[in-house]
Amino acid sequence: MTNPVFFAEPSEFDGVAPGALFVLTGAEARHAVAVKRLAAGEAVDIVDGTGKRLSGTVTAVAPQELTVRAESLAVDPAPPYRLTLVQALAKGDRDEMAIEAATELGVDSVVPWQSERSIVRWRDAKAARGQAKWEATVKAAAKQSRRAVIPEVGPLVGLKDLCRLIASSRLALILHENAEQSLADAVAEAGLPGDGDGSVLMIVGPEGGMSPQEVEQMLAAGAVAVRLGPHVLRSSTAGPAAVTLLSVLLRRW
């Protein structure tokens, strides 16, 4: 079984080596001591959110501190390709459900998309709150799934910026119920898996679907429309399903 994970700032790892004592403080320490009730002698991992992982044994606990003797310090290897989920804003927290599950499954970054048919709109202060909520969601999901990397949450994009992302990616997949090509066939036609370099985008529309104009412009930018299977998936499940399939097809799993 893997060790429970707690986050520290990257700078806190400076100068730490195997055998040294690492003192975790703040909210993460309080969670470890008061909620998880860790005790001396238990194994634990401290990660910095960018891939670095300290594995060790708890030597002491206090209300605001967790002291760990470092046994190893390593960087989790980056998987081949970079999976990015472009998730349209959706009502009923379905967009947050999608990025939470995608994070647990290993997505590398998520991008909020203000689609033409998105009922939810991020404007002014609401945009900042929405961004912060997405960041908190992926951080909590990364912790739950014991990842050393917290996926990046990109800024809100409209169709124009999304088309720029498509043009710069190795492969961009529009998950669309009316597509005739399968995701697996699109991956094979793109020559993947290959050298493991580049970004693969998965684009998911809102609960009302994408407009024909949006699909047309994304296809013109270089995206490929694909289907995941015989059934129509909700906006909250299409992205995680694609992450799962791509993780196998691209040999990330």
What was the pLDDT predicted at 232? 86
Residue 159, pLDDT > 80, answer yes
How many other C-beta atoms lie within 10 A of the C-beta of residue 20? Answer: 13
Summarize the confidence of residues 99-124 as an average pLDDT.
94
Residue 214, pLDDT > 90, answer yes
Give the 3-state secondary structure of the chain: CCCCEEECCHHHHCCCCCCCEEEEEHHHHHHHHHHCCCCCCCEEEEECEECEEEEEEEEEEECCEEEEEEEEEEECCCCCCEEEEEEECCCCCHHHHHHHHHHHHCCCEEEEECCCCCCCCCCCHHHHHHHHHHHHHHHHHHHHCCCCECCEECCCECHHHHHHHHHHCCEEEEECCCCCCEHHHHHHHCCCCCCCCCEEEEEECCCCCCCHHHHHHHHHCCCEEEECCCCCCCHHHHHHHHHHHHHHHCCCC
Residue positions counted in the chain = 253
Per-residue pLDDT of 17-64, as tens digits, reads 999 999 999 999 999 999 999 999 999 999 999 999 999 999 999 988
Name the residue with higher pLDDT: 127 or 103: 103
What percentage of the chain has pLDDT greater than the value 90?
89
Summarize the confidence of residues 174-178 as an average pLDDT.
94
Residue 157, pLDDT > 70, answer yes
Counting Cβ atoms within 10 Å, is residue 123 exposed (0-12), middle (13-18) or buried (19+)?
Answer: exposed
Residue 178, pLDDT > 70, answer yes
What was the pLDDT predicted at 149? 96
Residue 208, pLDDT > 90, answer no
Output the average pLDDT for the chain: 95
Residue 1, pLDDT > 80, answer no
Q: How far apart are CA 84 and CA 90, in angstroms?
A: 18
What was the pLDDT predicted at 126? 87
Name the residue with higher pLDDT: 124 or 19: 19
Name the residue with higher pLDDT: 133 or 194: 133
